[in-house]
Amino acid sequence: MIAKVIVDVAANQTDRVFDYIVPDEFRETIAPGARVTVSFGPRKVQGFVTGLDEQSNYSSKKLKELENLIDLKPPLTKELLFLAEWIKNDTLSFHISVLKSMLPAAMRAKYDKKLTLVSKEMLSKLPETIKPFFEDGKTLDSWEEWRKKAAEDEKKDMMKAVRQELVEVTPLVKTNETKKKQLVVRSALSKEELKAVLDDFPSKAAKQKALLSYFYDNVQEDVRVVISELMEQAGVSRQTVQELVNKEYLLKEEQVVSRDPFEGRTFASSSPLPLMDEQEEALTPVIDSIVEERHTTFLLRGVTGSGKTEVYMQAIDQVIRKGKEAIVLVPEISLTPQMVTRFKERFGSRVAVLHSALSKGEKYDEWLKIREGKVDVAVGARSAIFAPFENLGIIIIDEEHETSYKQEETPRYHARQVAIKRGEIYNCPVILGSATPSLESYARAKKGVYHLLTMENRVNHVQMPEVTLVDMREELREGNRSMFSRELLEGIEARFKKKEQTVLFLNRRGYSTFIMCRDCGYVAQCPHCDISLTYHRYNQSLQCHYCGHSETIPSICPECQSDSIRFFGTGTQKVEEELLKLFPDLSVIRMDVDTTRKKGAHERLLKQFGEGKADVLLGTQMIAKGLDFPDITLVGVLAADSMLHLPDFRSAERTFQLLTQVSGRAGRHTKKGEVMVQTYTPDHYSIIDVKAHDYLSFFEKEMSVRRQGGYPPYYFLALIHVSDERLDQVISVSEKIASFLNRSLSKQTMVYGPVASAIPRIKDRYRYQCMVKYKVEPKLTEALQEIIKTYQGEMARTGLSITIDTNPYTML
Ligand SMILES: Nc1ncnc2c1ncn2[C@@H]1O[C@H](COP(=O)(O)OP(=O)(O)OP(=O)(O)O)[C@@H](O)[C@H]1O
Ligand SMILES: [Zn+2]
Ligand SMILES: [Zn+2]
């Protein structure tokens, strides 16, 4: 029997299957999708079995046996193997990188090394420092473990010995530790015995006595208590606990911790709500496609608060009743406890949650529940699209416009594309939901490629909040130099008096990347591209990220001659300070990367705000979505334009989407909501249309901008990044690539660049890029593969790196 194996060596030459003989031992258990260890050249590496065959095309003399079978039950299903191949081709990735990205990180190979002396005779040649490790035929079984404890000179000498070939290195595949353990104690005595002991316990050992009586009063027989919790509750030290363990009154044990973060929490069960008419109309065609087992991609555009989640849940209900499974993708940032709880309340324990706040082990545990068929619903961020279900009945992508669904490292897949592929494979529907669909998706829905579903009204006809645009140039003219307009301050004060709540949103993205005049709102633009110029700190210039145009930074505004032209920037901390200066009694909860770093902090802060413990919630992107609290009646956006001037053709779209999301937090229940958007460009269509809650108007205008500029969805893009420590090399390679593409691709296809990337140097590596813009380009894949082939040798030998993104979302 022959196993076809994709080995874990990410290089062009190895990006194909290799044949290995399956030893008799594994014949019964080996299956496609399982991981194996094989020897590959001089090394031992991991690999994935993608197929089995009776014979090989190679002579069996040359074939090696595979070393070990890691998985007795393959973690990857047949369907995922098929999907991996599709993604590999679609994104021009190495097969192995796709396969690895489908598994939870805990299962990804970690390599360790074993060190052995080449021969006994070499011992005398070793430096004294490392001799002891190899005496009497000893070996170093884990290089990684050893390194942690070794002294610097020992490490140095070891490396020297390796280089001198006195010591031989064998790579090892390290099995991952996935079980977390904690220490617990239980009473060794029955209650009666305990009582007896307590009665004549020496009173000078007061702490031990206190701990024993705590046990007597609070802990039932045979109940185990986590030591750290016990210390806190009984108010004793670890030493006291240990003393009782030593006296054998308490027994100490190790216990495996179950990592389900919601374990032990009970969820009130919720039942399906009677639907609003629009919800009903949206759900019906979805149910039809579930019942008829037909793949359709639905685009559900529903305004904020229209009850999209309820529609998702009722569709999932139907899927479960058919004995099938569901995947729900939500952006990492809105994977809040509020969101998860809604699903847990509806579907109980049959929900697995995959998100990045979990430890590797916790993620693995959740993944395993899916693989073992213990759950029907997987809720998670991008990578949950690979949930190893085998009978999928629906895939839902909430907030489908979010760019976090695109992975920005290899394999550069977009979860939306993968979802649709899986939907095709399983003949099941895919729902893309959003209040502000991506331009690409809405254009497809209009063309009939996706089935469009629309919900224009909020549940129970709650009104959309009233949006006011505040012109900050006007404020400045009237002498207000602070970051708050007078209107916004009045708004906050009024809410404070009425005991209602305010959300203040500060967009951190895009700060300091562009130059703006504080007097007239002028932003430096490229004369050729209608895109703001990017501030390049290293040489104090303004550059166009698309065509390479460059100019010096103006010291006075070319529009109004004011000298208030500068980079734009401020932080949440500064806002908080300013706010408290104005309203010392105001209580503010600040949510940003600094205040939410600790595990659980995000949840705790939101909970406090939800319980009305603060007047103002101040934050960045992370408060833009998912909040559903009844007392929020004012949403203030401090600087709506900050993202508008990013060097990215999607910046208007992102601005509109973000402002709409933030606005959607106001007045979702009975109290009426108001939104104040502070802006320096109140007449930009992306801001005007937020005021009017008019997605369709925005869509039309943005489409015509894209048509004129030749951007998606009218054109496809491919981005080629070249980087190296040697600038001349980067320039010469990227020029060769550009001219090669110009020669190989059809006349209608445009090749831009090379230009320096917006961040032209990262970690001492220079970065250049070329962009391909095309409508139909049958030769593209071949040409891009040719580029990789041409440079693979150089990339392996030198620090040159070339990455290709066939569907770029970040232009930096
Ligand atoms: N049919 C219904 N009857 C009563 N209440 C409903 C119904 N559907 C949804 N709701 C409630 O309306 C509120 C808003 O719904 P939901 O959060 O699902 O909206 P959404 O469209 O997902 O909003 P957003 O895009 O802003 O997140 C929730 O509190 C939800 O429980
Ligand atoms: Zn100006
Ligand atoms: Zn330009």
What tens digit of pLDDT does each residue of 213-225 get? 888 888 777 778 8
Q: What is the pLDDT of residue 57?
A: 79
Measured in Å, residue 238 CA sits from the centre of ligand 2 at 66
Measured in Å, residue 525 CA sits from the centre of ligand 3 at 8
What value, to the nearest 5°, has the Cα angle with vertex 131 and ends 127 and 136? Answer: 150
Give this prediction's pTM. Answer: 0.76
Torsion of CA 642, 648, 653, 658, to 10 degrees: -40
Over range 250-254, report the average pLDDT: 84
| Residue 667 near residue 630, CB atoms below 8 Å | no
Secondary structure of 718-776 in HEC code, one letter for each residue: EEEEEEECCHHHHHHHHHHHHHHHHHHCCCCCEEEEEEEEEEEEECCEEEEEEEEEECC
Q: Is the pLDDT of residue 367 over 70?
A: yes
Q: Confidence class of residue 155 from pLDDT cuts 50, 70 and 90?
A: confident
Pocket residue to mutate for ligand 1, from 309, 670, 693, most atoms within 8 A of Cβ:
309
Please report, rounded to a whole number, the percentage of residues in the chain having pLDDT higher than 90: 38
Task: Please identify, by atom number, the ligand 1 atom nearest to the C-alpha of residue 342.
Answer: 31
Measured in Å, residue 298 CA sits from the centre of ligand 1 at 19
Pocket residue to mutate for ligand 1, from 310, 336, 457, most atoms within 8 A of Cβ:
310
| Residue 316 near residue 368, CB atoms below 8 Å | no
Q: Is the pLDDT of residue 108 over 80?
A: no
Measured in Å, residue 567 CA sits from the centre of ligand 2 at 13
Average pLDDT of the chain is 85
Q: What is the pLDDT of residue 113?
A: 63
Find all residues with CB under 8 Å of 310, minimum gap 6, and list them: 272, 273, 275, 279, 459
| Residue 667 CB–ligand 1 contact under 6 Å | no
Torsion of CA 437, 442, 444, 449, to 10 degrees: 80
Please tell me whether the interface predicted TM-score (ipTM) of this complex is above 0.85: yes
Q: Residue 605: what residue type?
A: L
Please tell me the chain's helix, strand, coil percentages from 3-state DSSP, rounded to the nearest 5.
40, 25, 40
Measured in Å, residue 659 CA sits from the centre of ligand 1 at 19
Q: What is the pLDDT of residue 141?
A: 83
| Residue 761, both tokens | 């140097």
Return d(Cα 49, Cα 31) in angstroms, integer.
7
Nearest CA to ligand 1 atom 24: 304
**Closest by Cα among 610, 576, 572 to 592:** 572
Measured in Å, residue 684 CA sits from the centre of ligand 2 at 17
| Residue 485 CB–ligand 1 contact under 6 Å | no
Residue whose pair of structure tokens reads 């990367």 in the numeric block: 593
**55-64, 308-317, 556-565: range with highest mean pLDDT:** 308-317
For the segment 44-76, what is each residue's pLDDT rounded down to a tens digit?
888 999 999 988 777 767 889 888 877 767 889
User: Could you give the C-alpha distances from 177 to 105, 108, 111, 363, in angstroms and in order?
Assistant: 12, 12, 13, 13
Residue 560 in marked binding region: yes
Q: What is the pLDDT of residue 327?
A: 97
Q: Is the pLDDT of residue 710 over 50?
A: yes
For the segment 328-357, what is each residue's pLDDT rounded down to a tens digit?
999 887 777 778 888 988 998 889 998 776
Task: Please identify, by atom number, the ligand 1 atom nearest to the C-alpha of residue 302.
Answer: 21
Q: Residue 632: what residue type?
A: I
Q: What is the pLDDT of residue 175?
A: 43
Q: What is the pLDDT of residue 811?
A: 66
Helices and strands (DSSP H and E) totals, the chain? 24, 33
For the segment 632-649, what is each residue's pLDDT rounded down to a tens digit?
899 999 888 877 877 788
Q: What is the pLDDT of residue 265?
A: 59
Please report, rounded to a whole number, the percentage of residues in the chain having pLDDT higher than 70: 91
Please tell me which residue, 569 or 463, carries the higher pLDDT value: 463
| Residue 435 CB–ligand 1 contact under 6 Å | yes
Pocket residue to mutate for ligand 1, from 275, 459, 668, most atoms within 8 A of Cβ:
459
Contacts by residues 149-158 (CB-CB < 8 Å, ≥ 24 positions apart): 153/129, 154/129, 154/130, 157/126, 157/127, 157/129, 157/130, 158/115, 158/130
Nearest CA to ligand 1 atom 25: 304
| Residue 582 CB–ligand 1 contact under 6 Å | no
| Residue 298 near residue 429, CB atoms below 8 Å | yes
Find all residues with CB under 8 Å of 649, minimum gap 6, and list them: 531, 706, 709, 711, 712, 811
Q: Confidence class of residue 575 from pLDDT cuts 50, 70 and 90?
A: confident
> Ligand 3 being an ion, which residues bring their Cβ within 5 A of it?
526, 528-529, 544, 546-547, 549
DSSP state letter for 666: S
Return d(Cα 703, Cα 774) in angstroms, integer.
17
For the segment 388-412, what is each residue's pLDDT rounded down to a tens digit?
999 999 999 999 999 889 998 889 9
| Residue 724 CB–ligand 1 contact under 6 Å | no
Measured in Å, residue 394 CA sits from the centre of ligand 1 at 20
Residue 428 in marked binding region: no
Q: Coil, helix or strand for 339?
A: helix
Secondary structure of 526-594 in HEC code, one letter for each residue: CCCCCCECEEEHHHCEEECCCCCCEEECCCCCCCCCCCCEEECCCCHHHHHHHHHHHCCCCCEEEECCC
Task: Please identify, by atom number, the ligand 1 atom nearest to the C-alpha of residue 664.
Answer: 26
Measured in Å, residue 464 CA sits from the centre of ligand 1 at 13
DSSP state letter for 372: T
Q: What is the pLDDT of residue 546?
A: 63
Ligand (nearest to CA of 544): 3
| Residue 172 near residue 149, CB atoms below 8 Å | no
Q: What is the pLDDT of residue 257?
A: 61
Count of other CB atoms within 10 angstroms of residue 556: 12
| Residue 94, both tokens | 């190495």
Ligand (nearest to CA of 518): 2
User: Could you give the C-alpha distances from 436 to 400, 432, 486, 574, 694, in angstroms and in order?
Assistant: 9, 11, 30, 31, 10
**Closest by Cα among 25, 76, 24 to 46:** 76
Ligand (nearest to CA of 530): 3
Return d(Cα 327, Cα 421) in angstroms, integer.
14
Q: What is the pLDDT of residue 492?
A: 94
Ligand (nearest to CA of 533): 3
Measured in Å, residue 524 CA sits from the centre of ligand 2 at 10
Computed on alpha carbons and rounded to an integer, the radius of gyration of the chain in Å comes to: 31
